[in-house]
Chain A
Amino acid sequence: MRLKSEVDPDIIEAITDALKKAGLQDTKYANKFKQRLMNKLIGQFEESDLVDLIEDFPLSEKDQPE
């Protein structure tokens, strides 16, 4: 049995797919989201990381407040 990387490649691909589906691929936020989620899976995730992820989420035009 070989030693595995901490986050499974299928999970990483699922993150990429979900970002693509949300129209967020290749954005600065996409990289941050991916990294934070991987950190969450290996137990290195703080509350401030979550607040950061929420506040930085790029809402689409239709979701913006009037």
Chain B
Amino acid sequence: MKIRITGWRAKNLRGYLTDIEIDLSSQPKRWTLFQMPNGTGKTTTMRLFRDALIGSNLSADEVNSLKADDTVENGFFELSLTIDDEPWRVEMKLDFRTGRCEYSRTSVGERSGGNKSGRLPSGLRDTLQKGITELFVFDGELAAEIIEDGASRADDSIRALYKLDSFKELCLNIDAQAKKRRNNAASISAAATKNSIGRFTADHKEAEDILVHLLRNERKLLASKAEGEARIDELDTKIGDLSSQQEQYSDELSEIKERIVEDRSAISELTARSTELFRSPPLFHSSVRDRLNSLGGTMHKLKLPRTMSEEFFLQLAEEDACICGREIGANEKKTITENAKKFLGHDQIAVVNQMRLALRDTGQRSETLGSALEQLRVARDGLQLAEQRKLRIEDELEEAGLTEIGEFKNEKAKIEFRLEGTCEALHQLTGDHFDLSEIAWQTNIPACRREVKERLRKRDTAAGTYEFIQKADALKDLVGNVEAGAVSRLRNRIKIATNKYLKNILVNEPLRVASIDGRLLLTTDGLGRKSSVSEGQKLAVSYAFLTALLAEAPHEFPFVVDSPAVSLDVEIRRTVGQLVPSLFDQMIIFVISSEREGFADTFFNRSESDVEFVTISMDPVTGRPKLMNGKEEFRSFHSKSGGSA
């Protein structure tokens, strides 16, 4: 099939599509470049091309997003094309009041003459399905999806273009035939056979139901396992991060804790010593000690006669005569008794003697209560500082979440314990045990599958369909092998072709496609797999892949592209501008003025019979689009006012 876009018309739609007619059929050119400012309808045109070809169902919001302004009630877009040289027109009538889009098509050819409502015929739409149309009316988002992790766009494109999904469809049809055959056999069998078929069918269903139940369990266990493993990974990361942070604190913290223990012990010792010193007045202060020392000296010198004590005079007062012989009368007795108090008693002399001894001993000690209390104060200040520092470190640890490390470790241990149980259950459920006799088929998936198959065989044998089903299964295997082989070969061929183009586009960069597995896996020479690429590299790889894909495709498509060079370096633009156009029989390229340098200017030297330059701008006075054909207008557009719009 060969497709060519021959023009489009639009009315009451956004940007320049408010009123435009583009005709590419009267003087067909291989390459047509449309230069337009940003925001004037390039992306909308691309989108309408795709919708018209695919026959997309547009939502009311999508329809309304296309309208020129709030004054219009309806609009239309018409795409003209040739399919195998047969002219076709697809019209989209847009009703902004109801938000509806109606399709109609017109053809003068054999396939569908005249004007008919509806989209393109399904045979054509099969070839122009979304996956293919997005390739040749290039959707910029495709560039990322071709490379992105987890995406399968590269494979999907190959499958769509080469119709490899036909094989999957064929396998589904084979299954449908097998089912049909079983149902027919059951309906036409004799009563006895019917009973037998019914019994075997029930047996088979029972096994199938159990298999469904087991598979559901497997999914639950796998989900639980994945969840547990993911949480363990998460916890490991957290524990690892916290451990390395904790190391920074642990030395300091243990030093502080040691210091606190020492300070507390010192305080306890100093408190005991201070109490002891407090009981010793000479040690209160050096001045007290000096005075007491002086007193001690005096007392040391003092020699008190043993009898010259209070007791001596009290005893004398009891006598009738003094030791001098004079009589002691009542008056003398009273005077002696009163004056006896001026003399020390025995107990007081003992105290004075003790003081004398104590004063003699303390005179040798240099330590005072004041110095001990000073040491105690220093120790207490030290302890206070250490405790404050400890609290600060603990606050920092808490702030950094480091105190959670223990909780994380506990949680990890619990999850690991649970995971062990889950893995054991999974092994029981899914392990393909050698000795199946030891495994109840109701508890093990491989054994249950065998049971399902065996019961189906019995049922099919009873129904006389066994052989047909065997053949259907064998045919399905064969078709599956064809599909796998075709995918593998096409992937490899397109990879080689992509790398050939890539080598020309990225001359100075060793970026290549290593393999195609859903998406394109990239590599750089000698550096293994490359997981991140720049926007420019991404686009260069996408162009190489698309070019390889479309150049090798079983159908000929035009290549329509919007702002192809915006994110490319000037050198890469030049290579893309020289290489890609030669691979397509028709290219429609929408550019902005900043893409002239390096990209659009590579078309200036091409033959005028091959290339058309169209500049579209909005007339500021009338607000209507203005079309200007020709290289000179194209070259000078916006250069006077400078830059792109």
A1-B556, A54-B468 are known contacts. Are A14 and B489 too (CB-CB below 8 A)?
A: yes
A50 contacts B174, C-beta separation under 8 Å:
yes
Q: Are A54 and B475 interface neighbours, CB within 8 A?
A: yes
Residue of B nearest to A34 (CB): B482
Q: How far, in angstroms, from A5 to B556 measured CA to CA in the complex?
A: 11
Which positions in A face B, CB cutoff 8 Å?
1, 3-8, 10-11, 13-15, 17-19, 21-22, 24, 33, 37, 40-41, 43, 47, 50-51, 53-55, 57, 59, 63-65
Q: List 9 A-B pairs, Cβ < 8 Å.
A: A1-B583, A3-B2, A14-B488, A17-B485, A18-B481, A50-B173, A57-B471, A63-B474, A65-B461
Whether B378 is near chain A, meaning CB under 8 Å from some CB there, is no
Q: Give the distance in Å from the alpha carbon of A35 to the alpha carbon of B468 in the complex.
A: 21
Give Cα A3 to B583, complex, Å: 13
Q: Which of the residues B166, B468, B489 comes within 8 Å of A40, measured between beta carbons?
A: B166
Q: Does B325 contact A (CB under 8 A)?
A: no
Within 8 A of A (CB), among B152-177: 162-164, 166, 170, 173-174, 177
Within 8 A of A (CB), among B342-383: none
Chain B minimum-CB-distance residue to A22:
B478
Complex-state Cα separation, A44 to B605, whole angstroms: 46
Asked if A54 contacts B471 (CB within 8 A), the reply is yes
Residues of the A chain whose Cβ atoms lie less than 8 Å from the Cβ of B46: none
Shortest beta-carbon distance from B89 to chain A in Å:
23
Residues of B within 8 A of A15 (CB): 482, 485-486
User: DSSP majority for the B interface?
Assistant: helix
Q: Which residues of B contact A7 (CB under 8 A)?
A: 554
Q: Which residues of B contact A5 (CB under 8 A)?
A: 554
Q: Mark B466-487, 1 if CB is under 8 A from A, else 0.
A: 1110111011011101111110
Contact (Cβ within 8 A) B474 A57 = yes
Closest chain A CB from B170 CB (angstroms): 6
Contacts of B486 in A (CB 8 A): 8, 10-11, 14-15
Closest A residue to B178 using CB positions: A54
Among A8, A41, A54, the residue within 8 A (CB) of B472 is A54
Task: Give 7 A-B pairs besides A18-B482, A43-B126 with Cβ atoms closer than 8 angstroms.
Answer: A4-B556, A8-B486, A14-B484, A18-B478, A50-B170, A50-B177, A65-B467
Chain A residue nearest to B489 (CB atoms) is A10
Decide: B482 and A37 in contact? CB cutoff 8 A.
yes
State in angstroms the CA–CA spacing of A53 and B477 once bound together: 13
Report the nearest A residue to B169, measured CB to CB: A40
Q: Which residues of A contact B321 (CB under 8 A)?
A: none
Shortest CB distance A40–B (Å): 5
CB nearest to B472 among chain A residues: A54
Minimum Cβ distance to chain A for residue B161 (Å): 9
Residues of A within 8 A of B467 (CB): 59, 64-65
In the complex, what distance in Å separates the CA atom of A22 from the CA atom of B466?
20
User: Are the CB atoms of A11 and B162 closer together than 8 Å?
Assistant: yes
Name the B residues within 8 Å of A50 (CB-CB): 170, 173-174, 177
Interface-centre pick from A5, A14, A33 (highest chain B CB count, 10 A): A14
Chain B: how many interface residues by the 8 Å CB criterion?
41
Smallest Cβ distance from B14 to chain A, in angstroms?
A: 33
On chain A, the residues within 8 Å of B484 by CB distance are: 14
Q: Given contacts A1-B551, A1-B584, A51-B177, is CB(A59)–CB(B474) below 8 Å?
A: yes
B387 CB within 8 Å of chain A: no
Which residues of A have CB within 8 Å of B493? 10
Residues on the A chain within 8 Å of B477, using CB: 22
A8 to chain B, nearest CB (A): 6
B551–A57 touching, CB < 8 Å? no
- Distance, CA A17 to CA B163, complexed state (A): 19
The verdict on A19 contacting B478 (CB below 8 Å), with A4-B555, A7-B554, A14-B486 known, is yes
A6 contact from B478, B485, B554, Cβ within 8 A: B554
Q: In the bound complex, do residue B174 and residue A54 qualify as a contact, i.e. CB atoms below 8 Å apart?
A: yes
- If A41-B166, A53-B475, A63-B470 touch, whether A14 touches B585 (CB-CB below 8 Å) is no
Asked if B471 and A4 make an inter-chain contact with CB atoms under 8 angstroms apart, the answer reads no
Which residues of chain B have C-beta atoms less than 8 A from A54's C-beta?
A: 174, 177, 468, 471-472, 475
| Residue of chain A at shortest CB distance from B476 | A54
Closest chain-A Cβ to B481's Cβ sits at a distance in Å of 4
Q: How far is the CB of B144 from chain A (nearest CB, A)?
A: 27
Contacting pair A22 B481 (CB below 8 A): yes
Residue B490 lies at the interface, judged by CB distance under 8 Å to chain A: yes
Q: Which of B162, B471, B584 neighbours the largest number of chain A CB atoms within 10 Å of its CB? A: B471
List A contacts of B474 (CB < 8 A).
Answer: 22, 57, 59, 63
**Within 8 Å CB of B164, what residues of A?**
11
Closest to B477 in A: A22
Interface positions of B from 626 to 644, Cβ below 8 Å from A = none
- B493 CB to closest chain A CB (Å) equals 6
Nearest A-chain residue to B474, judged by Cβ: A57
B528-575, CB < 8 A from A: 551, 553-556
Assembled-state Cα–Cα distance A43/B484 (Å): 20
Chain A residues whose CB sits within 8 angstroms of the CB of B406 once the complex forms:
none
Residues of B within 8 A of A64 (CB): 467
Contacts of A22 in B (CB 8 A): 474, 477-478, 481
- Shortest beta-carbon distance from A25 to chain B in Å: 12
Chain A residues contacting B466 (CB-CB under 8 Å) are 65
Please name all residues of chain B whose beta carbon is closer than 8 Å to the beta carbon of A21 when the two chains form the complex: 481
Q: Are B170 and A59 in contact (CB under 8 A)?
A: no
Query: B483: which A residues are within 8 A, CB to CB?
Result: 14
How far, in whole Å, are A64 and B478 apart by their CA atoms in the complex?
A: 17
Residue of chain A at shortest CB distance from B482: A18
